[in-house]
Amino acid sequence: MMLVCSFSIVAQEHFPKNDGVKSENTNYTAFTNAKIFVTPTQIIDKGTLLIQDGKVVATGTSVNIPTNAVVIDVSGKSIYPSFIDIYSGFGVEKPKRQGGGFRFGGGQYDASREGFYWNDHIRPEQNAVDHFKYDAKAASALRKAGFGVVNTHLQDGIMRGTGALVALTSKGSDAERILDDRSAAYLSLSKSLKSRQSYPNSLMGSLALIRQVNHDAAWYAKGGIKITDRSLEAFNNNKGLVKIFVAGSKANALRVDKVGDEFGTQYVIVGGGDEYERIKDIKAANATYILPLNFPNAYDVEDTFAASVLELSAMREWNQKPSNPKALADNSIRFTFTTDGLKSPSMLKANLMKAIEYGLDKTKALEALTTVPAQVLGQSNKIGSLKNGAYANFLITSGDIFDKSTTLYENWVKGDRDIIKDMNIKDIDGNYSFTMAGKTYDVKISGSASKPKSDVKSNGKQLGSKISYKDNWVNLTFTSTDTTQQEFMRFTSRVNQNDNLSGKIIDPNGNIAYVSAVKSSSDDDSKKDGMNKRGGSNKEVKMMPVTYPNGAYGVSELPQQETILFKNATVWTNESEGILENTDVLIKNGKISKIGNNLSASGAKVVDATGKHLTAGIIDEHSHIAAASINEGGQNSSAEVSIEDVIDPEDVNIYRNLAGGVTSIQILHGSANPIGGRSAIIKLKWGETADGLINKNAPKFIKFALGENVKQSRSQNGTRFPRTRMGVEQLFTDYFTRAQEYDAKKKNGQPYRYDIELETLTEILNGERFISCHSYVQSEINMMMKVAEKFNFKMNTFTHILEGYKVADIMKEHGVGASTFSDWWAYKFEVNDAIPYNASIMHNVGITTAINSDSGEMSRRLNQEAAKTVKYGGVSEEDAWKMVTLNPAKLLHIDNRVGSIKVGKDADVVLWNDNPLSVYAKAERTMIEGATYFDIDKDKQMRSKIKKERSELMTMMMQEKNKGMKTQPIKAKDKQLLECDSMD
């Protein structure tokens, strides 16, 4: 057995030496007869790898081996460049969260640091190297998993500062380990644990903050900020570094990529492993992805009660997620892997093999672990390959590194050897037999290279046995043939050059015998067959098709525009024609093409609508569905945030809304603060991407809010201004005054700090952005109009507006619209005088009045809510219907395209089986721009498909459990319906 002393790597020649004599080692080491992967695609068979002083000197088949070389013959073995993980927290301790857990109200609004950015969660000045402490245990675990180098950083904050590239060698000091101390800059969407500063407390807030930091850094660089800001200085200093952004999911990947694009930054994105669900958009983002490899275990579905809450999307995730790397490879998207998120780096291999089983090409897999991460960091000449001059970071394996049976023998980092498994250990697999005291024993040994197993029989009788094999010694214990006794025979043998096992046996009575277990020759062949089989076969994996969204009621492709002729319908036009009986409507090219009698159109699909009602699609002025976050309450104004950044196209409530005849909604920011965030006005095109949902023809909107919520009335220890309605008025006055000053500076051509928040408010002043203002009591409603008048703009919509009936005349004069609940009241103090006649009074006064939902439940029955204005206050049915269609369209300034059945408008229509205002009515078909997004018959088919797929997946998961695979307990998403008050 060879023993090679490790080199002392790059000598610390200027250090004094007090523990012996100077002993620099300039020998070479040569590895001969190996299959060498210089790169994943440059492979040398039976080659030599020559290294010296921690670096590769040469590779090839005819390498000249110097005389002062230690030669290691590794015939039959493979050498790979070692792996690289560029999203790591190795050796950098994560800070502990400050204070307790969740706290309501009483937040900390100001920064806790001085001389840094105004927001504690922006920490680009952090450098991993300042916090780094070599962790020998973690390094050993990483080396065992095949890693040689990691890029580590302090995993804390939205801007996290720079990372350090670290070689995982146990020898030497950090001076030798740290290859680059400013190797990349890291960002995330999560706040620092070191501070309780409340802003940002939403996803959209984090995105807005990153934008503002970019603007501020540019302004700082121009000298616009007179004080020292070490965060912005660091941000500017880090400009040239690779930026690695932890997104954690496909949706967030697209979000952060978009923000990056706005500032000319292409982030490298740490993904969520769910990229396959939207692979085209992921590809279009043009980023390199760092993928976690944590595939979920099957769910334990034996308990049918518990399993009933398990959703199809979760089961599909189990079934499909291992296909993610293949999907990226197939689409030529560059990716690397990280062990982050795995319980231990040792799980990497099993998961990687699973991905390969799902079709990931092995070369791609190897690239993802070697050359790609090296390229990302711009370190290709140093790491990730075995090219000359690169660090001698490599693995010696028994064969194909992605094969289950392959053993990783050694992991060399910068020429420093770590023996994972002794590669000179002899393979002793085979069948042996020996005779003792007249009895013949047959011993079968398998798995000796990794986990030895034994099987002992005597004259056909099975005996219990246990084997250990270490350092060339075999210890085999087996039960005696007398099964009435619990007695053991112990056999110990040193493994020799010949194939037999010769050693001594001690029987239960302490008698010692020397025996030689003779190996039979036939076994080798069968083993070779096995090897071939392992290498060649590729088990078929049954994978469920991906839908958009990838769960129940998802679609495999988007519905297409159709030419449809509705015959003989009762048509609620919302125009001067009123309600037309027995009328035909032709839908063509996404538009309402003709309305009339006895229409015909060639190629049109004819729908008999006799006895049915055709209306414009319902429009919900106030919705909170389909959004990943709703409130940014971390400050009293959050005009810089936008719901458009956080649209969630996968919310099943989109589909449920369609089933209730809804086609357009305004997703409003919540009511946590007086100046809320910007709205998203979307069409409910179920199956589309977040961007595809946005109504590009809609104008800009923002949410404002008044009353109990914004003054945090139900929080005992509120510290945020304002705490009264008096303060609310002053807050608006303050912000609009600042916006006026800002706008003046801009218009005068003076230099100014670009402020996203004031930009937004300026748009309001200039009539380019409309306000939808959450409001309840008459005093505050009146106040808001007066503030607007003072600043020369008009309030567009009061939403909720439950006491609008008390100031309807003043509202009418101001020219504001109203979007209210039909009959809500009594849920909080400020709605004590809310009456269900509110809508009818405002309507009668001449205010454009809409009925809204603010609830994912009510939104799917807005037709019924409109009908309540008939009951409470006697609004005509025709006008009542407009309150959920044409009137909200007017309030949103989209009535030129939607809201009525008029030739030339978008074909956003609903076919009802009854008068749409009736509680008995059901939407049978809901169309947007001429494409059918809900069809009651198709819904039925989907239900049975869901049922079938659920059972199929459950069967597969039970089979998985029967195979002995690990399972996880059932869990289900908690349906959190976001409303105005939701803090998320």
In the range 109-128, which residues lie near another protein by CB under 8 A? none
- Span from 151-159, 604-612, 792-800, 836-844 in contact with another protein (CB under 8 A): 836-844
Maximum separation of any 2 CA atoms in the chain, in Å: 114
| List 35, 683, 868, 902, residue binding another protein (CB under 8 A) | 868
Residues 6 or more apart whose CB falls under 8 angstroms from that of 560 comprise 931
Shortest Å distance, C-beta 879 to another protein: 13
- Spatial contact of 48 and 63, defined as CB atoms under 8 Å apart: yes
Size of the site for another protein (CB under 8 A): 75
Shortest Å distance, C-beta 312 to another protein: 5
- Spatial contact of 586 and 562, defined as CB atoms under 8 Å apart: no
Binders of another protein among residues 492 to 551 (CB under 8 A) are 551
Site string for another protein, 59-98 (x = CB under 8 A): ----------------------------------------
3-state per-residue secondary structure call for 693-751: HECCCCCEEEEEECCCCCCCCCCCCCCCCCCCHHHHHHHHHHHHHHHHHHHHHHHCCCC
Q: How far apart are the first and last CA of the chain?
A: 63
Binders of another protein among residues 770 to 809 (CB under 8 A) are 805-806, 808-809
Q: Which residue number, 459 or 976, has a Cβ lying nearer to another protein? A: 976
Q: Which residue number, 509 or 556, has a Cβ lying nearer to another protein? A: 556
Q: Which residue number, 868 or 902, has a Cβ lying nearer to another protein? A: 868
Q: Which residue number, 702 or 839, has a Cβ lying nearer to another protein? A: 839
Reading phi first (left if > 0) and then psi (alpha if -120 to 50, else beta), residue 707 is in left
Q: Which residue number, 33 or 713, has a Cβ lying nearer to another protein? A: 713
Binders of another protein among residues 900 to 919 (CB under 8 A) are 914-915, 917-919
- Compute the C-alpha angle 523/529/530, nearest 5°: 90
Smallest Cα–Cα separation from 684: which of 939, 936, 926? 926
Q: Which residue number, 316 or 364, has a Cβ lying nearer to another protein? A: 316
Q: Which residue number, 325 or 551, has a Cβ lying nearer to another protein? A: 551
Binders of another protein among residues 123 to 162 (CB under 8 A) are none
Token representation of residue 138: 């973690």
Smallest Cα–Cα separation from 849: which of 900, 901, 897, 802? 802
Smallest Cα–Cα separation from 493: which of 480, 482, 481, 506? 506
Q: Tell whether residue 277 is a contact of another protein (CB under 8 A).
A: no
- Spatial contact of 633 and 983, defined as CB atoms under 8 Å apart: yes
Q: Which residue number, 656 or 902, has a Cβ lying nearer to another protein? A: 656
* Distance separating alpha carbons of residues 204 and 925, to the nearest angstrom: 34
Our measurement of the distance from residue 550's CA atom to the centroid of its chain's CA atoms, rounded to an integer in Å, reads 14
Q: Tell whether residue 870 is a contact of another protein (CB under 8 A).
A: yes
- Span from 169-177, 237-245, 328-336, 831-839 in contact with another protein (CB under 8 A): 831-839
Shortest Å distance, C-beta 96 to another protein: 12
Residue 116 identity: F
Binders of another protein among residues 656 to 695 (CB under 8 A) are 656, 659
Whether the bond into 722 is cis, omega within 30 of 0: yes
Residue 24 class from Cβ within 10 Å (0-12 exposed, 13-18 middle, 19+ buried)? exposed
Smallest Cα–Cα separation from 315: which of 296, 291, 293, 342? 296
| List 181, 330, 507, 823, residue binding another protein (CB under 8 A) | 823
Shortest Å distance, C-beta 919 to another protein: 4
| List 861, 890, 902, 905, residue binding another protein (CB under 8 A) | 861
Residues making up the chain, counted from first to last: 984
Smallest Cα–Cα separation from 632: which of 892, 974, 891, 978? 978
Smallest Cα–Cα separation from 85: which of 197, 18, 166, 14? 166
Q: Which residue number, 461 or 971, has a Cβ lying nearer to another protein? A: 971
| List 303, 427, 691, 813, residue binding another protein (CB under 8 A) | 303
Shortest Å distance, C-beta 59 to another protein: 48
Neighbours of 150 (CB within 10 A): 28
* Distance separating alpha carbons of residues 429 and 421, to the nearest angstrom: 17
- Spatial contact of 26 and 52, defined as CB atoms under 8 Å apart: yes
Q: DSSP state, 124?
A: T
| List 856, 888, 899, 930, residue binding another protein (CB under 8 A) | 856
Whether the bond into 373 is cis, omega within 30 of 0: no
Q: Tell whether residue 15 is a contact of another protein (CB under 8 A).
A: no
Q: Tell whether residue 844 is a contact of another protein (CB under 8 A).
A: yes
* Residue 842 φ then ψ, to 5°: -60, -40
| List 4, 309, 350, 744, residue binding another protein (CB under 8 A) | 309
- Span from 212-220, 415-423, 692-700, 872-880 in contact with another protein (CB under 8 A): 872-880
Site string for another protein, 955-984 (x = CB under 8 A): --------------xxxxxxxxx-------
Q: Which residue number, 104 or 473, has a Cβ lying nearer to another protein? A: 104
For residue 260, the surrounding DSSP H or E stretch is helix 250-262
Shortest Å distance, C-beta 663 to another protein: 16
| List 305, 437, 748, 962, residue binding another protein (CB under 8 A) | 305
Q: Which residue number, 485 or 724, has a Cβ lying nearer to another protein? A: 724
Q: Which residue number, 247 or 831, has a Cβ lying nearer to another protein? A: 831
Q: Which residue number, 215 or 922, has a Cβ lying nearer to another protein? A: 922
Q: Tell whether residue 873 is a contact of another protein (CB under 8 A).
A: yes
Distances (CA, A) of 231 to 45, 228, 752, 840: 52, 9, 20, 56
- Span from 7-15, 136-144, 289-297, 301-309 in contact with another protein (CB under 8 A): 301-309
| List 472, 824, 897, 958, residue binding another protein (CB under 8 A) | 824
Binders of another protein among residues 920 to 959 (CB under 8 A) are 920-922, 939, 943, 946, 950
Shortest Å distance, C-beta 648 to another protein: 13
* Residue 750 φ then ψ, to 5°: -80, 155
| List 832, 896, 951, 959, residue binding another protein (CB under 8 A) | 832
- Spatial contact of 695 and 656, defined as CB atoms under 8 Å apart: no
Binders of another protein among residues 616 to 655 (CB under 8 A) are 652-653, 655
Shortest Å distance, C-beta 885 to another protein: 17
Binders of another protein among residues 696 to 715 (CB under 8 A) are 708, 713-714
